[in-house]
Amino acid sequence: MRWLLLFLEWFVDWARGTYWYLVGKRSSLCKPIQNSPGFQEVSRTAKDGVLKQEFSRDAVPANLDVIVVGSGLGGLTAAALLAKLGKRVLVLDQMDQAGGLCQSFNEKGFDFDMGFHNLGQVHENSLLKVTLDQITDGRLKFVELEPHVDTVVIGRGQESKKYTIYSGKRNMEAHLKKQFPNDAVAVEKLFKIMKICTKKIHMLCMLKLIPLWFARLILCTGLVDWISPIFKYSRSSTADVLRSLTSNKDLQTVFCHFFSGPSPKNTSCMINAVLFHHYKRGAFYPRGGVCEIPYHIIGLIQRHGGKVMVRAPVSQILVKNGSACGVTVNSGGVEVAVHAPVIISNAGVFNTFQKLLPPESQAQPAIMERLQILKLGKAFFQVFVGFNGAQEEFEVTSTNYRFFKNDDIDAMADEYFASSQERAPDRIPMMYVSFPSAKDPSSKDRFPGQTCMVIHSIVKYEWFEQWKDLPASELKAYEDYKMRFANTLFDWACEHFPKLKDKVAVIHAVSPLNMHGLRAPRGAMLSAAHDLERDQPVNIAKNRSSTPVKNLYLTGQDVVSCGYAGAVHGGIICASTVVDHALYIDLMLHKRKLKEKVSKKLD
């Protein structure tokens, strides 16, 4: 029976692909990009001219086809793809600079990335690289970082243990086996799961593009489990799968080191497998800094007649006769209506459904049902530290560090989030440390003699909530409390980088109350939580780009997955839904042509 189903799947895919290849309509995404220049240094003033175009009603393009709310990577990806397909697009953002978390800010002369660290799966001719080339006309260039991608530190003081993760098609697995020689078989099984989940994740994405009734049918009948085990891994908790493979708590912790909020007992094995595999072919950073990403995407949108405007807070999505038809922008206290037949929201599912829609739309049962699929993610806390001195002086590299208080993530997360407000700053169980200035070669020229460090951790919004509406003059207690978290995290980092302590020039903490002004609900920088319920296959199918409001679509992290790659794929699925064409097919065909071209050169 299984072989029959596999044959049928292959035959249907072959027939559909052959028909499309021979007579199907192909989009411009199948074509090679034109005039892809090498990296060109652009002044900050020139970049600001693109990234900081303020909203003006007179500057709005005429005859708009699409309005995108939010200029994060998911919104820009959808906008750029649609622009290349002939749509006239307007992107609106509330901030004074476009890019969402793909931007930097300056604090006392130091330039910090808001949330970007590095990106995987952008090796030559990968799907993600092909997509980024398409939405930037190939002008976005990446630097490949050192193969030592991550260090996982478990424990504190002399009892701490370090495990290193290296990129490399074969080296990643081999290096992990060297560190866990008694668990070599478990490592092999983990990498088989990673391969399955990465190779077959398109099946989960397709659940969002096929009719929902059909998705429910094949899921409820159990047919999908005969086709691929990815559906089993998607609905299985990470903790359960790991316990079935190994009792080594350190290995379990290393596999879960991409901690985004929910603990292993409440996350899908599939999402952890995909995140771990993400850097197997290397880690990359945009040459020239993170602002290069929105800068080049916006350039493409403008070349196709579109516009990206900032200081344009959208106060409401306009709905007429059950269909989205425009937005209102609060421009200097005046509500300005801008209309288009298609509205895309990159503001996150919670902001979109609970704040931007008019009350009568929010009350729709279908909207309420969609919201029940997702829970709000954990709040984030960030510390940005600048040092007087070059990276060589501090012996820091492009490697990221993941610190855990012990090897039981589930238990320490439960204990931490049960803490009182007073005790919480002293009980932080985990953190992420990165040195952005060590990742971009141009940083040495742009900011000579400076080193930047970024620390991320998770917190409970309720610990900060009492200060959310107070005026700045009454926030001394808040600043003191915030710095308790910041100092605890910084001191922990200095246990491993002692040379940093005496060279601090600036330390800047960002709590969930403000989160860079992104309006992230309750400080949830990753928006919806990636918990086990979200990644149940039937909920993956339900949580799609289309919404119960006609002509209103969602893009970004909440559509597919957290992180920057997740946001890009959210944009692809959104654009595919808008034009009713699976753009993945076009991108995959273009990818295949590029690979064939390389093979011919080698021959």
What are the tens digits of pLDDT across the range 179-207? Answer: 999 999 999 999 999 999 888 888 888 88
User: Is 587's pLDDT higher than 90?
Assistant: no
| 2 confidence band (pLDDT: 50, 70, 90) | very low
Helix (H) or strand (E) holding 295: helix 292-303
> What does the pLDDT average to over 499-507?
90
State how far the Cα of 397 lies from the Cα of 438, in Å rounded to an integer. 5
How many helices (H) and strands (E) the chain has is answered by 23, 20
For residues 592 and 600, the answer to whether their CB atoms sit within 8 Å is: no
According to CATH, the topology of domain 2-111+293-374+543-602 is FAD/NAD(P)-binding domain (3.50.50)
State how far the Cα of 253 lies from the Cα of 160, in Å rounded to an integer. 13
**Backbone dihedral region of 38: left (phi > 0), alpha (psi from -120 to 50 degrees) or beta?**
beta
By mean pLDDT, which of 1-5, 110-114, 193-197, 583-587 is the weakest?
1-5
pTM for this model (two decimals): 0.91
User: Is 296's pLDDT higher than 60?
Assistant: yes
For residues 309 and 57, the answer to whether their CB atoms sit within 8 Å is: no
> What does the pLDDT average to over 394-403?
91
| Secondary structure string (H, E, C) spanning 475-504 | CHHHHHHHHHHHHHHHHHHHCCCHHHHHHE
- pLDDT on residue 440: 84
Contacts of 578 (CB under 8 A, 6+ apart): 66, 78, 82, 342, 344, 545, 553
> What does the pLDDT average to over 542-568?
92
State how far the Cα of 336 lies from the Cα of 418, in Å rounded to an integer. 45
Where, residue-wise, is CATH 3.50.50.60 in the chain? 2-111+293-374+543-602
- pLDDT on residue 24: 53
- pLDDT on residue 27: 67
Q: Taking the CA atoms of 255, 261, 265 and 267 in sequence, report the sign of the dihedral they define.
A: negative
User: Is 10's pLDDT higher than 70?
Assistant: no
Residue reference for tokens 């919004």:
461
Q: Taking the CA atoms of 275, 276, 278 and 283 in sequence, report the sign of the dihedral they define.
A: positive
Q: Which two tokens stand for residue 108?
A: 């006392």
Question: Which residue in 600, 603, 598, 602 sits closest to 125, CA to CA?
Answer: 598
- pLDDT on residue 34: 67
Q: What is the pLDDT of residues 23-78, one digit of tens each?
A: 455 666 766 676 566 666 677 788 889 999 999 999 999 999 999 999 999 999 99
- pLDDT on residue 3: 45
Where, residue-wise, is CATH 3.90.660 in the chain? 146-281+376-523
Higher-confidence residue of 90 and 18: namely 90
CA-based radius of gyration for the chain: 24
Q: N- to C-terminal Cα distance for the chain? A: 42
- pLDDT on residue 7: 44
State how far the Cα of 343 lies from the Cα of 363, in Å rounded to an integer. 19
CATH assignment of 146-281+376-523, given 3.40.50, 2.160.20, 1.20.120, 3.90.660?
3.90.660
State how far the Cα of 252 lies from the Cα of 475, in Å rounded to an integer. 41
Residue 564 C-beta-side C-alpha neighbours within 13 Å: 26
Higher-confidence residue of 411 and 15: namely 411
